[in-house]
A and B are shown apart, each in its own frame.
Chain A
Amino acid sequence: MSDISCPAPAQSLLKRGDRTARRHAAEARFRACGLGAILIGLAALAVLLASVLTSGLGAFRQSYIHLPIHLSEAELDQSGTRDTEVMKKVTTIGYGKVIDKALAEAVAQAGIAIDGLTDDDISGIISREAAAQVRDMVLSNPDLIGETIDLSVLANGRIDGYLKGRVTAESAALDSNVSPAQLQLADAMMERGLLSLDFNAAFLTAPDASDQRPEAAGLGVAILGSAYMMLIVLALALPIGVAASIYLEEFAPKNRLTDLIEVNIANLAAVPSIVFGILGLAIFINFAGLPQSAPVVGGLVLTLMTLPTIIIATRASLKAVPPSIREAALGLGASRMQAVFHHVLPLAAPGILTGTILGLAQALGETAPLLLIGMVAFVREYPAAPPEGLFDPASALPVQIYNWTQRADPAFVERASGAIIVLLAFLLVMNAAAILLRRRFERRW
Chain B
Amino acid sequence: MKDTLTETPATTDTAKIAVRGLQVHYADTHAVRDVDVDIPDKAVTALIGPSGCGKSTFLRCLNRMNDTIPAARVTGEVRIDGEDIHDPRVDPVQLRAKVGMVFQKPNPFPKSIRDNVAYGPKIHGLTRTRAELDEVVEKSLRRAALWDEVKDRLNAPGTGLSGGQQQRLCIARAIATAPEILLMDEPCSALDPIATAQIEELIDELRNRFAVVIVTHSMQQAARVSQRTAFFHLGRMVEYGDTGELFTNPADPRTESYISGRIG
Query: A residues engaging B (CB < 8 A)?
Result: 253-254, 322, 324-335, 338, 342-343, 347, 443-445
Contacts and interface: CB of A to CB of B under 8 A. Distances in A.
Interface string B92-126: 01111100110101011110000000011001100
Contacts of B177: 332-333
Contacts of A338: 123
A324 B102 CA distance: 11
Contacts of B95: 333
Interface of B: 63, 65, 68, 70, 93-97, 100-101, 103, 105, 107-110, 119-120, 123-124, 159, 170, 173-174, 177
Contacts of A444: 110, 159
Nearest to A338: B123
Nearest to B179: A333
A253 B67 CA distance: 13
A209 B93 CA distance: 65
A445 B159 contact: yes
B210 to A, nearest CB: 15
Given A333-B94, A333-B97, A444-B110, A327 B123 contact: no
A322 to B, nearest CB: 8
A328 B170 contact: yes
Which of A253, A326, A342 has the largest number of chain B CB atoms within 10 A?
A342
A314 B100 CA distance: 31
Nearest to B97: A333
Given A332-B174, A333-B177, A327 B119 contact: no
Contacts of A330: 65, 68, 96
B65 A445 contact: no
Contact of B173 (A326, A332, A335, A343): A332
Contacts of A324: 103, 105, 107
Given A324-B105, A445-B159, A332 B96 contact: yes
A328 B174 CA distance: 9
A330 B173 CA distance: 12
Contacts of B170: 328
Contacts of A326: 68
Contacts of B100: 331-332
Main secondary structure of the interface of A (DSSP, over half): helix
B110 A327 contact: no
30 contacts: A253-B70, A322-B107, A324-B105, A325-B109, A327-B103, A328-B103, A328-B108, A328-B170, A328-B173, A329-B119, A330-B68, A331-B65, A331-B100, A331-B101, A332-B96, A332-B97, A332-B119, A332-B123, A333-B94, A333-B95, A333-B97, A333-B123, A333-B124, A334-B119, A334-B123, A338-B123, A342-B119, A343-B109, A443-B110, A445-B159
A326 B65 CA distance: 11
Contacts, number: 64
A347 B110 contact: yes
Nearest to A347: B110
Interface core residue of B93, B97, B103, B108 (most chain A CB under 10 Å) = B93
Given A325-B107, A325-B110, A445-B110, 4 more contacts: A330-B68, A334-B119, A342-B123, A343-B109
Contacts of A325: 107, 109-110
B96 A331 contact: yes
> Which of A254, A343, A443, A445 has the most chain B CB atoms closer than 10 A to its own CB?
A445
B159 A335 contact: no
Closest 9 CB pairs of A and B: A333-B97, A324-B107, A331-B101, A333-B96, A445-B110, A328-B107, A332-B120, A443-B110, A335-B93
A258 to B, nearest CB: 11
Nearest to B124: A333
Nearest to B64: A330
B70 A254 contact: yes
Nearest to A445: B110
Given A332-B119, A338-B123, A327 B174 contact: no
Listed residue (A254, A330, A335, A338) with the most chain B CB atoms within 10 angstroms of its CB: A330
B109 A328 contact: yes
A253 to B, nearest CB: 7
Contact of B174 (A253, A331, A334, A445): A331
Contacts of A347: 110
Nearest to A343: B109
Nearest to B104: A324
B117 to A, nearest CB: 10
Q: Which of A331, A334, A343, A347 has the most C-beta atoms of chain B within 10 angstroms of its own C-beta? A: A331
The listed residue with most A CB atoms (<10 A of its CB), out of B94, B100, B103, B109, is B109
Nearest to B96: A333
A333 B183 CA distance: 13
A329 B93 CA distance: 10
B93 A334 contact: yes
B157 to A, nearest CB: 8
A341 to B, nearest CB: 11
A333 B107 contact: no
Contacts of B110: 325, 347, 443-445
